Amino acid sequence: MTDDFTPTVEEILTLDAQSILPLRNPVMVVALEGWFDMAGAASAAVEALFDDEHRITVGEIEPDPLYDFTIERPHVEMVEGQLRTIRWPRNQIDVWRNELASRDVVLLLGVEPHLSWRTYCEAVLTTCEKLGCSLVVTVGAGAEQIPHSRSPLVTGSSTNHDLAQRLGLSTPTYQGVTGVVGVLHPTLEASDIPSVSLRVGIPHYLSNASHPLAVRSLQSHLSHVLGVGPGRDLSNDINQARMLHDELVATDPQLAMYVTMLEREFDRRAESIIPSADDLGAELEEFLRNLNNDDE
């Protein structure tokens, strides 16, 4: 530790890069539970898209200096009444490698840290550099005024003006409090690693209830953008959730009227405010090819 008790990257990052290199055109995907992931939809989308069979764990970010464990508490796991293990909040680094896909994908799945955000972001940057990632895609989910009966749109932005222009994305205009993802993007940009933020909406009246329809929207979008397979079928989860949400709305006439209004408004502006996932994927491939050519 340094004198002010701020950890260094070397103290929190464990990464076995040599065991997995070289990677094929790797891109990093970051999904962190917490402020930027309402109902855990973004993390669930990544889990649904990238199957365990093709994932290899190559590193992690040490939790002790990053969390207040009175807020993000560890879990005790028991087997037949005996203490098995204590499961601490993790930031796990996996490589997803499937020969049928066009690239390898580095996955950072974890929980948004409470402390030492700058060091945490530097650890993510170091991981990108050591594994040769040419792009980072962060995924999130947030409350929006949308109906639960429609597939929510996926919106995106990029701090890289060239990338934003090519993909038809916006550049960030938000001012105010932010999460660690808001710190990560400029950290990457300062080291010339482009990044994209993708976000799916969650009906705000569902509070923090799971919304598999939003999970599938983000899962499908990522699949097309990254050129990987469709992942796990969520149809049963979607149907079950739809019945539960319909029952919830039916018990409140005012809420039912509000949802009907949201449906009409959603249908009126049905076209996505960003290009289709297929178009976005094609443009992203072209951007990365040009980027790689410039580095040669």
pLDDT tens-place string over residues 236-288:
999 999 999 999 999 999 999 999 999 999 988 765 455 667 777 777 878 87
Residue 2 inside a domain? The answer is no
Any domain includes 1: no
Give the pLDDT confidence score for residue 268 in this predicted structure: 85
What is the domain range of residue 201?
9-295
Quote the pLDDT of residue 168. 78
Collect all residues with Cβ–Cβ distance below 8 Å to 275 and sequence separation of at least 6. Answer: 167, 168, 283
Q: Is the CB of residue 214 less than 8 Å from the CB of residue 148?
A: no
| Predicted pLDDT at 273 | 55
Task: Quote the number of domains for the chain.
Answer: 1
Query: pTM of this prediction?
Result: 0.91
Q: How many CA atoms lie within 13 A of 294 on its CB side?
A: 8
| Paired tokens of 77 | 């796991």
| 63 within domain boundaries | yes
Spatial distance between the Cα atoms of 293 and 195, rounded to a whole number of angstroms: 18
**Does residue 3 fall inside a structural domain?**
no
Measured CA angle at 211 (ends 207, 215), to 5 deg: 130
pLDDT, tens digit, 9 for 90 and up, residues 147-167: 999 999 998 899 888 888 887
The CATH number linked to 137 is 3.40.50.10900
CA distances from 288 to 168, 193, 261, 281, 282 (A): 15, 11, 42, 11, 10
- At 1 the pLDDT is 46
Asked whether residue 138 is assigned to any structural domain, the reply reads yes
Predicted local confidence at residue 2, as pLDDT: 46
Q: How far apart are CA 75 and CA 271, in angstroms?
A: 43
- pLDDT under 50 in the chain at which residues? 1-3, 272
Nearest residue to 49 (alpha-carbon basis) of 281, 213, 222: 222
Residue 93 lies in a domain: yes
